Structure 1
Amino acid sequence: MEVIIMSANPNIRVIDNPVSRNGVPVWNRLHSEREDICEALLKECSPGSETQVAAPRMSNEDAMHGPNWHRELLQARLRKIDDALDRLMAGSYGNCSKCGRWIEDTKLDFDPAVAFCIDCWERMQTTH
């Protein structure tokens, strides 16, 4: 059940137990993805894993990004998920971490770990 609590600021909403459009609670989606990433990282880092016993020759993708790029991507995603879980527990989930306005529902449905509204994200992309 999704409970929306409106704040004094009309651009900020607080949601208790948000549910995505497919009916799965956001908490469950985030934890499920977090589990998958942790399992992938464990496999990748464990002795005898394919990445540990692979031939020293680097693939084109590894050469372009470096040998640890996949692990770094997983770790970055894990940080985003942990941050989203923190926002969920703090009651600020769904509000932009930069401006505080509500993040569009379609964006949250696509990626429940998203931290910024479209306007702030676009501004950050043009400055980097």
Structure 2
Amino acid sequence: GDGVNDAAALARADLGIAMGSGTDAAIGAADVTLVREDLQAIADAVRLARRTLGAIRANLAWAFGYNLVTVPLAAVGLLTPMLAAAAMSVSSLLVVGNSLRLCAWQPDGGPRKPGRRPNTPHHRPRWETV
């Protein structure tokens, strides 16, 4: 939506999407606001949300796995406090590092012309490789 008359529908929708050039009422009622007027951004937002959810799940799995292993070891005295502190620091660094991978995410360039290969190092002509 982009107008005042769309605000009510955006608020009641399962997923409301507003254009950034729309009215403040539509932008405030929407769940997602597209800054650029490109509908491809919706697909990019969904892809980024899926990657974010995957990172959250991986971080939770790592944290639960770490606690599942280290808490019983500490309970029976096989894990010293210094080693537990070091392991917790490594665990935190792994979780933060996994989350930071999202910073490198780039949206797709949109639909490509038929027959055009993506501009990746494996598909660049030899003279374009740096």
Q: Which protein shows a greater Rg?
A: 2
Higher relative contact order (CA 8 A, sep 6+): 1
- Give the TM interval when normalised to the shorter protein: 0.3 to 0.5
TM-score (norm 2): 0.33
Structure with greater helix share of residues = 2
Please give the TM-score of this superposition, normalised by the length of structure 1.
Answer: 0.34
